[in-house]
Amino acid sequence: MTKSISYTQYVSPLGEMTLAGTKDGLCGAYFFDQRSFKGIKDWPRDDHNPHLVKAAKELSEYFAGKRDGFDVQLDLAVHGTAFQQSVWRALLNIEFGQTSTYGAHANSINKPLAVRAVGGAIGKNPISIIVPCHRVIGSNGALTGYDGGLDRKKYLLRLEGVL
């Protein structure tokens, strides 16, 4: 059984975003030009879904420098495989102002030989910013891969005081 997804639009300093949610939580936060975002499909617009309203409020506070974590309830089970979902859940352990590497992230989920698969899963993270895939960098410190674009990744890491 697939869950019913609704959406709303949110205008961030980095461009328009689509926030998607179910009755159980936020399941998507996509930049308008994010490569992996396949569009709203047949989702109804719902500017009153409490998870979407809370996500928009928390994102605004984050961009204003008034928030360093998110409390909005997430529904990570809507998208991806069990492996991808485990990678996304583990991203939540990377704290504001910190970074991790792809290798360290693979180790954190007890898959040290799966660095490429972990990187692929991170690249398909459906909840930008809130599930902080932007905090994962290359082992040499390089800002590699971000589905929303490297300029956005730089902006987010600067906002968090990492760069």
What integer pLDDT is reported at residue 51 of this predicted model?
A: 98
Residue 52: in which H helix or E strand, if any?
helix 50-63
Burial class (CB in 10 A: 0-12, 13-18, 19+), 120: middle
Burial class (CB in 10 A: 0-12, 13-18, 19+), 137: buried
Note whether 8 and 47 are within 8 A (CB). yes
Chunked mean pLDDT (size 10), the chain, 163 residues = 89 97 97 89 95 98 97 95 96 96 95 94 96 94 88 96 91
Q: Give catalytic status of residue 133 as yes or no.
A: yes
Catalytic entry in 5, 74, 133, 156: 133
Cα 134 from chain centroid?
8
* pTM for the structure as a whole: 0.94
The CATH code for residues 82-160 is 1.10.10.10
